[in-house]
Amino acid sequence: MSVHNQNHSSRERRYNAPGPWRALGPCATLSHMKTSTLSIRLDAKVQRELDRLSRQLGRSRSDIVRDAVRRQVALLRFERSRRALLPLAEAQGILTDEDVFRIVS
């Protein structure tokens, strides 16, 4: 599956949408967005779930995947920061979430 593929109903809404949407052949994108294409392989079960969610939410598969990637990148950055700060916090006696809440409250 290519991330830039969109389901038909979402594509139609965007293709005919007013405002900042700009039609680009069979798909549309925000005119101020610079994008690139990423192809990913999905197993059949994940693809079916993605298609189902796309229909239910009225969002393109690309929108859902972009949102998932953004969230995962943010989570990974948070985890990396936490790992880097953990030794410093432990040295200050900050060992639990309760310790953090006590300090910031």
Distance CA 71, CA 65 (A): 10
CA distances from 57 to 2, 24, 38, 41, 75 (A): 20, 23, 22, 22, 23
| Predicted local confidence at residue 33, as pLDDT | 65
pLDDT of residue 8: 45
Which pLDDT score is estimated for 100? Answer: 87
Look-up of token digits 């298609």: 51
From first to last of the 105 residues of the chain, give the pLDDT tens digit. 444 444 444 444 444 444 444 444 445 455 566 888 989 999 999 999 999 999 999 999 999 999 999 999 999 999 999 999 999 999 999 999 899 899 998
